[in-house]
A = this chain, B = another copy of it.
Amino acid sequence: MLQPELDKIVYFQSEEPRVYESAHPKSLLHSIVEDGKALDSLKNQHVYSSDQFDRNTILQLLRLAAKYEANPERFSAPLQGKILISAFYEPSTRTRLSFESAWHRLGGNIMSITDRSTTGIAKGESLSDVAEMFNSYGDCVVLRDSNDSSVKEMMDALRIPIINAGNGLDEHPTQALADLYTIFKWRPDLIQTKPENPIKLCIIGMPSRMRTVRSLLKLISVFPNAFETVTIVANEVEEKIFDQGQKEQLLNVGLNIEVTGGFSNAIKSADVIYINAIAWEGNTFKEYGADYKLSASSPLKAQAIVLHPLARGEELCTSLDDTSHNWYFSQARGAVFLRQALLTCLLHRTDRVLDII
């Protein structure tokens, strides 16, 4: 017999409406006209950097992601018979499972490597030889490594596509695509060439030290008119905040970049707040901006949304979880569909999911 106290805890609501659940992709889906040809450019291309994506390719990727998210059960197995090599030499359960979930939903099979110490690499095998092995065993590689150069070394020898899922301090392009996907789901009007109401984006994080921030800045450079201002909040001199030439590049595309140490003022006026405190460097991490903490009592605009690449530290209080500012859970959820879209393109299977190609 079920005890009353158990009754309370074992039952759950599978459809429980949570704030971030309202982040429905339908509006974005309707805002972009399908153009499968734009995705052809992703064939025979590794995914190394956010720099690789032009405006049209990005929009079509986001559209396909929205299509998957709007009807998650519709496309059962476009990658049937395909094998993913999921190589996480720098362990990351969160990112690994996001990619693997995406691949499984597309009907493919997976071989995982979750521990570098037991691989041939640890015994001195070259990444080039490992890549050659991957050519024979799989159809696509997802690689995370704490070493910046690993993905490039592999790319050189691969004849199957590889996705950079975070290479040291450098880049994490699919995270940035997921970030952008979230912003455009929230405000599909921003994809217009000249949006009427561009937004204020506030980034709490270090462009020079965080791969997620670096990759995101590259992507928003493709949509400069969507952003009235981009404010970087950091208590550092600009030489440390930016890589050499990084700020100039952002200014050159027309972004209005501001830098401030004034946390409260920055978040007060922001429409989108992107926060991250932890930069993974190899097997350890450094914390930046530990003084900057967001919570439900932070002075946010009523309509502002908060993004975070997760996992979170103390910079993002759980008191925000049940507020309408919480779009970080939607961001994590959407990343799976974004990755489904990208993988479908890399594996040349858009013909199975697009109407017009």
Contact = CB atoms under 8 A, between A and B. Distances in A.
A14 interface: yes
A51 B2 contact: yes
14 contacts: A6-B49, A6-B52, A10-B48, A12-B159, A14-B160, A76-B81, A83-B101, A97-B133, A98-B137, A101-B138, A110-B111, A120-B311, A126-B318, A136-B333
A105 B49 CA distance: 31
Contacts of A333: 135-136
A237 interface: no
Interface string A233-251: 0000000000000000000
Interface in A86-119: 91, 93-94, 97-98, 100-101, 104-105, 107, 109-115, 118-119
A136 B310 CA distance: 13
Taking each of A12, A81, A125, which has the highest tally of chain B beta carbons within 10 Å of its own beta carbon?
A12
Contacts of A15: 159
Contacts of A12: 44-46, 155, 158-159, 161
Contact of A44 (B13, B54, B101, B222): B13
B100 A310 contact: no
Nearest to A135: B333
A159 B329 CA distance: 13
Interface residues of A, number: 77
Contacts of A112: 112
A76 B83 CA distance: 13
B120 A94 contact: yes
Q: Copies per complex?
A: 3
B312 A129 contact: yes
A9 B48 contact: yes
A318 B49 CA distance: 28
Contacts of A3: 51
Nearest to A136: B333
Closest 6 CB pairs of A and B: A91-B118, A136-B333, A101-B137, A104-B109, A120-B311, A125-B311
A123 B136 CA distance: 35
A120 B318 CA distance: 16
Contacts of A109: 104
A31 to B, nearest CB: 23
A33 interface: no
Contacts of A97: 85, 111, 113, 133, 137-138
Contact of A136 (B85, B132, B336): B336
A268 interface: no
A11 B47 CA distance: 9
A152 interface: yes
A87 to B, nearest CB: 9
Contact of A311 (B101, B107, B129, B135): B129
A311 B130 CA distance: 9
B124 A313 contact: yes
A128 interface: yes
A16 interface: yes
A311 B132 CA distance: 11
A311 B52 CA distance: 33
